[in-house]
Amino acid sequence: MSDDISSIIDTLWTVLPRGGGRTIGLHEPEFGATERAYLLDCIDSTFVSSVGKYVDRFEQMLCDFTGAKRAVAVMNGTAALHIALQVAGVKTGDEVLVPDLTFIASANAVSYCGATPHFVDSNASTLGLDPEKVDRWLGETASVVDGVCRNKKTGARIAAVVPMHTFGHPVDLDALIDVAARWKLPIVEDAAESLGSYYKGKHTGRLGVMGVLSFNGNKTITTGGGGAVITDDVKLADRLKHLTTTAKVKHAWDFIHDEVGYNYRMPNLNAALGCAQMEKLPEFLAEKRALAAKYRAVFAGHPVAAFVDEPANSHSNFWLNVLLLRADKADLLPALLERTNAAGIGTRPVWTLMHKLPMYAHCPRMDVSTSEDLAHRLINVPSSAHLGRAHAA
C-alpha cells in the first residue's frame, strides 16, 4: 500500500515543481498588470458597483469567446443556475434531473426554485450524467402526457435536466439532446467548470437552452466571485437580464419594478477583473492542455492510477486534472490524500454524493452505482495554468 502511494507521489513530482516549501494549490488564480490597471480604472472612475463599462465589455467578451449570442453576468455561478432554471420554467413542486456526482450548487439551485432534485448516475468515461441510463430510468419511472414529463411515482412534473461538465470534461451531449427531446425536457447546462471546453466544436453551455458559467477564484478565469448565463435565445437573455437586475423598468429616475426580481448583478469591479482574465484565457487554456499532456504521459501504464482523459468528441479545458485509482486499490484514497497534502501537493477527493447529504437524502434517485464507484476512486491533482508553462517543473 505504502509503495503504491509512493509511486503515485513520485510520478506527480515528475510533473510538478519541487521546492519553495509551500503547498502546490489545486487551482491558483493568476493576476498581473492588466488586472491591476482595470481595477484601478474602476476605482478612479468611482463606478465600482453594478453600473459601469466593464460589465457590458465582459459580457461581450464571453459572447465572442463562446460564440453565444448573449451572456448575462451575475454575482456567482450558483445565482446563474438559479435564474436559468427559473427562466427555463422550473416551478415549485417540480423535479429536475441532476447528477448525483456534482458540486452542491447544481442541486441547491433546484431547491431555490421550490423544486426537488432527482439524482441520476454518471458515465464512467465522461464523469458526467449518463444519457443512456437516464433514458432507461425515465422509461421505468416517467411518462410524457400532453407534452409534459411526469414522475409516475411522485406525480411531479420533471421540468428540466441539468448536465454538469465534470472538471471540464463534456457530457455526451448528442445523446443527451436526443433523450431530452424525447422526454420533453429543456437542458440547462451547468458549465461552471467548462469555460473553454467544446463538444464537437461547439462551446459547452451552448447545446442546451441555456448554459451557466462560474468565475469563482478556483476556476479557469476568475472575477473573484462571478457567474454568467449564456444563451442563443435573445428573448431569454432579456428576461435573464431583467430578473437579475431587480426587474427594474428602465427610467431615468423612477424606481418601478414590475415583478419580484433579484439583485444578482455582477459589480463593475468584478467584471473589470474578468475582462483582464479573459484576455489571458487562450494562454491559460494552452498551458492547462500542456499540463494535462504531461500528466497523461507520466501516468500512461501506471500500475495503480490512471489519468482521466477528455471524452470522445470533445475538447476539454482540463480545469481540474483527475486520476482514477484501480478498482481494487480504492482503499488507498484516504491515505493518498493525507500523504500528497503532507508532501505539499494539493489534492482533493470529489464531492460527497448529493444523495448522501442530509437535505437531499430523501430525494428521488436512480441506481447511482457508477457515481458511488467514481467517488471512491477519483482524486484531483494540481491544475493551475502556470504548472503547464514551458519553464515549469
Contact residues for ligand PLP, defined by CB under 6 A:
76-78, 81, 102-103, 105-106, 164, 190, 192-193, 214, 216, 227
Q: Helices 268-299 and 53-66 sit at what angle, rounded to 10 degrees?
A: 30
- 74 vs 134, beta carbon nearer ligand PLP: 74
CA distance 172 to 99: 13
Nearer of residues 151 and 222 to ligand PLP, judged by Cβ:
222
Cα–Cα nearest to 219, from 289, 296, 277: 277
Report the residue number, 320 or 385, with the smaller CB distance to ligand PLP.
320
Residue 7, classified by CB atoms within 10 Å of its CB into exposed (0-12), middle (13-18) or buried (19+), is: middle
The nearest distance, CB 167 to ligand PLP, in angstroms, is 9
Query: Residue 102 or residue 244: which is nearer to ligand PLP going by CB?
Result: 102
CB of 377 to ligand PLP, least distance (A): 19
Q: Tell me whether residue 226 or residue 329 sits nearer to ligand PLP (CB atom).
A: 226
211-245 in b/e burial notation, b at 16+ Cβ within 10 A? bbbbbbebbbbbbbbbbbbbbbeeebbebbbbbbb
Q: Grid coordinates standing for 339?
A: 500523504
Q: Are 214 and 171 in contact (CB under 8 A)?
A: no
Cα gap 360→328, rounded to integer Å: 29
Q: What is the DSSP letter of 26?
A: S
Question: In angstroms, what is the minimal distance from the CB of 372 to ligand PLP?
Answer: 19
Query: Are the C-beta atoms of 374 and 353 separated by less than 8 Å?
Result: no
Kindly tell me which of 77 and 211 has the beta carbon lying closer to ligand PLP.
77
Backbone angles phi, psi at 248, to 5 degrees: -85, 130
- Compute the least distance from the CB of residue 165 to ligand PLP, in Å: 8
Nearest-CB residue for ligand PLP: 77
Q: How far is the CB of 102 from ligand PLP (least distance, A)?
A: 5
Shortest approach of ligand PLP to residue 190 CB, angstroms?
5
Inter-axis angle of helices 33-45 and 268-299, to 10 degrees?
A: 160
